[in-house]
């Protein structure tokens, strides 16, 4: 096999057929790449691929597409929107040089903001493949991404949470009780977001109205979202529903997004529709995207590209539409893609690093399915590492157990833990609301009151769910 990508190591000569093959072989081992048949055959081959990748000029990624330009609108987006001026500052570097530069004191938050439009997802993915976990944490910490709608997400020394009050039958009483529970633990500043058990327009509007009534009744500086299909949300807006954020799961190839039932034009239409409602108070970031390593492989839409590179390409889609929140649901798809706690931890740090480097407000659903080789201690570890790395938000779910989606994630208590141990606070507008409502008596120490605040004492009888 003739190839420009080759390396000699350990007495063997390794050749990689193209850029996509090189990226895949350089990726730290994970079950999804093994399932796809793109994984390195040995640790030595992986090291050879990483050494080859380290010597590769960053300019290579502008001249060779891992998914063909002619047949993939995500590739066209990446190439056509690339900012040559922003790239000029790092255009002389190899992948290895770029890694070293990112870790240096030259790469300040201000400099990283200046160059981010010149970094392609493949450049970010390639760099992550030759970084240790501590490297991913350190660089992500330096990337400061701030977004806003009714409160401000991503400020330094802040950690927001998505209050996720899912219910297996969409029972409004159960949902309302979970919302109250989460608010009393200081959760919900990123979004109050429901995955509907029954996914249709009428049910989405019902849940939107429930959340909107709670937010308006208590004047909570947060936003709501029903995680229904983007076309359902467009229809809901047309019907006059109180839509704050538009949600969609996204992938890193056109074929993946086609399998999800949308294209880039659909997202543009949805964003314009949400902006027209003018419901934000301190900002106008109206989109909420979720991603996850393995989605392109599960849709048979990965084009032979490793799952982490496909994941990074999804961030180009997100970046195009200036989202309030981007969430990598890191262990949700299952052990076929990320086998155990070690692989989930690595993937979560990779996703967070790549997203932040590309300019996204990255959160993480620190999660696993019950048939994965992982447990809540693994989630504690990843949650803590992401808190150190400056993660924008995490999930808050009653008891860490989503009883509708049937997976394990982080609880309201977990969010309190990581805020306390790392000295992090909620979004500033939400923090003030917590103090005003006497949910937190001492916002510096996050001391919960001994009993339910008077401001909420009547809530079990008056929340919208009780009268619905």
Residue 182 within any structural domain of the chain: yes
Question: What letter would DSSP give residue 30?
Answer: -
Question: What letter would DSSP give residue 261?
Answer: T
Q: Are 101 and 108 within 8 A, CB to CB? A: no
pLDDT score for 468: 40
Query: Phi, psi at residue 272, to the nearest 5°?
Result: -65, -40
Model pLDDT for residues 435-450, shown as the tens digit of each residue: 999 888 766 656 666 6
Residue 167 within any structural domain of the chain: yes
pLDDT score for 467: 45
Residue 418 within any structural domain of the chain: yes
Model pLDDT for residues 255-281, shown as the tens digit of each residue: 999 999 999 999 999 999 999 999 999
3-class secondary-structure state, position 220: coil
Query: Phi, psi at residue 420, to the nearest 5°?
Result: -65, -50
Residue 441 within any structural domain of the chain: no
Residue 393 within any structural domain of the chain: yes
Residue 87 within any structural domain of the chain: no
What is the CATH number for 424?
A: 3.20.20.70
Beta bridge partners of 249: 290
Number of domains in the chain: 1
Residues of the chain whose pLDDT is less than 50?
A: 466-468
Residue 137 within any structural domain of the chain: no
- β-bridge pairing 191-194 and 160-163: parallel
Helices 376-388 & 412-422 angle (0-180, nearest 10) = 40
Model pLDDT for residues 212-240, shown as the tens digit of each residue: 999 999 999 999 999 999 999 999 999 99
Among candidate residues 394, 372, 398, 397, the one with its CA nearest the CA of residue 384? 394
pLDDT score for 415: 95
Among candidate residues 304, 204, 293, 191, the one with its CA nearest the CA of residue 249? 293
pLDDT score for 9: 81
Residue 96 within any structural domain of the chain: no
Q: How far apart are the C-alpha atoms of 265 and 230, rounded to whole Å? A: 11
CB atoms within 10 A of CB 9: 15
Task: Tell me the CB-side half-sphere exposure of residue 161, using CA atoms within 13 A.
Answer: 33
Q: How far apart are the C-alpha atoms of 139 and 131, rounded to whole Å? A: 10
The DSSP secondary structure of 379-437, one letter per residue, reads HHHHHHHHHHTT-SEEEEBGGGEETTTTEE--BHHHHHHHHHHHT-B--HHHHHHHHHT
Which range marks the domain in which residue 310 is found?
Answer: 147-436
Q: How far apart are the C-alpha atoms of 420 and 426, rounded to whole Å? A: 11
């Amino acid at each position: 096999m003739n190839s420009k990508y080759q390396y000699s190591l350990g007495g063997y000569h390794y050749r990689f057929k193209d850029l996509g093959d090189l990226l895949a072989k350089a990726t730290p081992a994970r079950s999804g790449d093994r399932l796809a048949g793109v994984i390195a055959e040995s640790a030595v081959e992986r090291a050879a691929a990483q050494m080859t990748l380290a010597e590769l000029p960053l300019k290579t990624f502008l001249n060779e597409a891992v998914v063909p330009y002619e047949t993939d609108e995500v590739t066209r987006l990446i190439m056509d929107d690339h900012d040559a001026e922003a790239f000029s500052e790092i255009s002389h570097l190899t992948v290895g040089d770029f890694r070293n530069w990112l870790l240096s004191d030259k790469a300040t938050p201000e400099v990283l903001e200046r160059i981010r439009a010149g970094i392609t997802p493949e450049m970010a993915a390639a760099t992550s493949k030759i970084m240790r976990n501590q490297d991913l944490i350190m660089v992500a910490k330096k990337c400061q991404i701030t977004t806003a709608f009714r409160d401000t997400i991503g400020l330094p020394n802040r950690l927001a949470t998505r209050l996720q009050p899912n219910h297996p039958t969409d029972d409004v009483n159960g949902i309302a009780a979970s919302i109250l529970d989460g608010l009393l633990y200081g959760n919900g500043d990123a979004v109050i977001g429901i995955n509907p058990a029954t996914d249709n327009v009428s049910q989405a509007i019902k849940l939107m109205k429930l959340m909107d009534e709670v937010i308006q009744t208590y004047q909570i500086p947060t936003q709501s979202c029903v995680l229904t299909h983007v076309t359902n949300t467009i229809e809901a807006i047309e019907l006059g529903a109180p839509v704050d954020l538009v949600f969609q799961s996204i992938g890193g190839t056109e074929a993946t997004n086609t399998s999800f039932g949308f294209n880039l034009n659909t997202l543009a239409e949805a964003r314009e529709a949400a902006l027209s409602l003018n419901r934000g108070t301190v900002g106008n970031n109206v989109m909420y995207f979720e991603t996850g390593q393995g989605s392109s492989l599960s849709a048979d839409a990965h084009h032979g590209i490793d799952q982490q590179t496909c994941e990074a390409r999804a961030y180009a889609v997100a970046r195009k539409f200036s989202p309030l929140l981007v969430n990598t649901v890191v262990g949700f798809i299952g052990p076929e893609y990320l086998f155990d706690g070690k692989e989930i931890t690595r993937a979560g740090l990779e996703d967070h690093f790549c997203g932040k480097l590309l300019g996204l407000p990255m959160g993480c659903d620190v999660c696993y399915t019950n048939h994965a080789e992982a447990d809540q201690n693994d989630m504690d570890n990843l949650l803590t590492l992401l808190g150190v790395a400056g993660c924008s938000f995490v999930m808050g779910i009653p008891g860490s157990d989503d009883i509708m989606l049937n997976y394990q994630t982080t609880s309201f208590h977990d969010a309190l833990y990581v805020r306390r141990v790392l000295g992090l606070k909620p979004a500033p507008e939400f923090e003030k609301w917590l103090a005003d409502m006497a949910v937190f008596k001492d916002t510096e120490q996050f001391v919960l009151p001994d009993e339910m605040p008077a401001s909420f004492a009547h809530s079990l009888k008056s929340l919208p769910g009780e009268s619905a």
